[in-house]
Amino acid sequence: SSLVEIVTGSSRRASRGRVRCDVAAIGGVRAPPDLLVVVLWNVTGPPAERGGISDVASTEEFQRLTAAGGPPTLAFYTAPWCGPCQEVAPHIDDISGRLEGRHLRILRIDVDAMHNLAREQGIKAVPQFEVHREGHVVERLAGCGPEAVAEAAARHAADYAEMLKKKEER
C-alpha cells in the first residue's frame, strides 16, 4: 500500500520515518509559501509492524491510537514555529526507526492544528511528550533532552514486549 502526506509550504519541512523532503528546495527551485506538495512513500507491512511516526489529524484518531488494547504510545506535541521542537525532531525520528513497531507507537501532534486536543491533554508548552498505555497517560516528559525521551520509549516498549511474551507463554 502507499501513504500520501500533504504538506503546505508554511511548514517548510516534512518528514516521516527516515525520508525527508525540504519543501523550500525541491528540484533546486525556491518554493513559494503557499506551495502544496504531495509526498508519496511506499509502505510495506501493516501499521502495527512498520516504523514511522503517525501524524494525528483528528481527536478521534488520537483516541483510537491511544486506546486500550494496543502497544504503548509516545505522543510528541510539537509546532512548526518551535525551535526546540525542530531540534528534537530528528531524535524522535531516530527513536521511531529503532523502536516503533509491534511494541511501541509514536504519534506527532501539531498543537496549532490540533489546539483542542492539546488543550484537552493539558499541553501548555512544546515540545512535550506523553506515554499512553491502555488508554491512560502513564508518563509525561517536558523540558528534557532526547536521551530521556529515548529511555522512556525503550523502557515502555520493553515492558510491553515482556508482557506479550508472558501472555504467549500461558
- Positions annotated as catalytic residues are 82, 85
- In Å, how far from its chain's centre is CA 145? 16
